[in-house]
Amino acid sequence: MLGVGASGPVHADPPAPVSALPGARPTLEERDAWAVLAGVRGLGPVGFGLLLRRYGSGAAILREASSPGGARRLVEPEEASQAPTEPAEGVSQAIADGIARAADGAALTIGRIRSLGLAVVTVEDPLYPIRLTQIEMPPHLIYVLGSPGAMHAEAVIAIVGTRRPTDAGRAIAARLAANLAAVGASVVSGLAIGIDGAAHAATLQAGGTTVAVIGSGHAKLHPRVHGRLADAVVASGGAVISELGPDVEPSRGTFPRRNRVISGLADATVVIEAPARSGALITASWALEQGRECYLVPGAIDAPASAGCLAFLREFPDRARIVAGIPQLIDDLGLADHLTQPGVTSDVAATLTGVGEVAGRIGREIAVGRATVDELVASTGWPVATVLAALTILERAGLTVGAHGRFRAAGALAAADPDKSRQRPRTIV
């Protein structure tokens, strides 16, 4: 049984293998069978795994359930099929009856899935994300609207947070998502109002790929107000996914399950803002339990939106990490070498050799047309004092000149190829 304790996720039962057929490639019939069984209320990964080990396939489970007395045999397996020392691998009567009903309505269930345009990806399918297979009790299948390939990016980072963010928190989520897109990472979040929505939207605006994990079935999309955002995620080459059947309503219990999938899909989870009792902290707990990196943005000690982040950092000082800035986070995530700085052509690079890394960055920003201190601060995320010091170095080197609060390239920097310098920048902002 999957649960969440006071300090994060806990398992009341030991995890069990999901399938008896590791490495097998499911047929269309088998995918459909798994999809039918996934809609049985109360049949989770443990019970499903037990039945798979016993019957060998989802299709065989449905055939048994449809046969005379099949539901009884699901509860009380034949003695001949068990070794003397092995416990019977059955399920409860309620679940067995649910499987029988699902078998009778299999055609309607599959028709519903097809009508919604959903792909069914089982844990035995090559399209199943490998990161998700590495967590305890992964979903035995996921329903995917959009591109399954969106879950297989080289780098995947989760961004989560409160549904009631401050303006500053929303802006940080947007900036981080845009910069992750710039370094080629895919962004995963929960499509919720607030930090989640800001992260998805900013990723799309930056031309990146994002995956939304929902805590309901696709036909009961929650929140409904994000229907257009979900459509945009799919249209951009991303995906909206769920482990729940198409018509499953959202509930308090579905969101902790959703949160473990968010962190399970990602290399690292970043919490932007979280009050003391925030679902985002459940996602952070799952990340730690799954052996993934977890980063939290700190805030003022009296800010309600930051109370949960600060408490989490205090509770897990050796495991949770602080976000000291977006450039620093990009570096901590190991993605700094993916960053393409603006104006990095051979002539511009050679011109800026010798002025230092910081002044060199400012020189490249000026080369692509950023002219004021405000623009340079916004594009780099650096303090005003740092930008002014770099401008002084460039002016002394004869590479920039300032007048009336605006700066332009001078000397050898002005002679750099302007067309090459104005290639689309991918910068930390």
Lowest mean pLDDT among 322-326, 346-350, 366-370: 346-350
Q: Label the pairing between strands 141-146 and 156-160.
A: unpaired
Query: What pLDDT sits at residue 150?
Result: 93
**Phi-psi category of 373—alpha, beta or left, where left has phi over 0 and alpha has psi -120 to 50?**
alpha
Reported as a pLDDT band with limits 50, 70 and 90, residue 109 is very high
CB-based contact 342:423 (threshold 8 Å): yes
Bridge partner list, 186? 156
pLDDT of 53 > 80? The answer is yes
pTM: 0.72
pLDDT of 427 > 60? The answer is no
Q: Please report, rounded to a whole number, the percentage of residues in the chain having pLDDT higher than 70.
A: 84
**375-400: average pLDDT:** 87
Query: What pLDDT sits at residue 339?
Result: 54
pLDDT of 296 > 60? The answer is yes
3-state secondary structure of 217: coil
**306-316: average pLDDT:** 95
CATH second-level architecture of 145-337? 3-Layer(aba) Sandwich (3.40)
Structure tokens at 420: 């090459």
Query: What pLDDT sits at residue 348?
Result: 62
Query: What pLDDT sits at residue 17?
Result: 33
Residues 379, 406: Cα–Cα separation, whole Å: 15
Buried b (16+ CB within 10 A) or exposed e, 139-175: bbbbbbbbbbebbebebbbbbbbbbebbeebbebbbb
pLDDT of 101 > 50? The answer is yes
Highest mean pLDDT among 123-127, 185-189, 249-253 belongs to 185-189
pLDDT digits 0-9 by tens, 199-227: 999 999 989 999 999 999 999 998 899 99
Domain ranges, ordered by start, for the chain: 19-116, 145-337, 346-421
pLDDT digits 0-9 by tens, 114-172: 999 999 999 888 899 999 999 988 898 999 999 999 999 999 999 999 999 999 999 99
pLDDT digits 0-9 by tens, 266-286: 999 999 999 998 889 999 999
What is 101-144 written as a DSSP string? HHHHTHHHHHHHHHHTTPEEEETTSTTS-HHHHTSSS--SEEEE
Query: What pLDDT sits at residue 349?
Result: 67
pLDDT of 29 > 70? The answer is yes
Task: Return the higher-pLDDT residue of 330 and 78.
Answer: 330
Query: What pLDDT sits at residue 49?
Result: 85
Query: What pLDDT sits at residue 19?
Result: 36
Task: Return the higher-pLDDT residue of 194 and 86.
Answer: 194
pLDDT of 373 > 60? The answer is yes
pLDDT of 346 > 70? The answer is no
Query: What pLDDT sits at residue 326?
Result: 85
User: What dotted CATH number matches 346-421?
Assistant: 1.10.10.10
Task: Return the higher-pLDDT residue of 405 and 78.
Answer: 405
**54-81: average pLDDT:** 83
Report the candidate in 238, 254, 136, 140 with the shortest Cα–Cα distance to residue 189.
Answer: 238
Query: What pLDDT sits at residue 347?
Result: 57
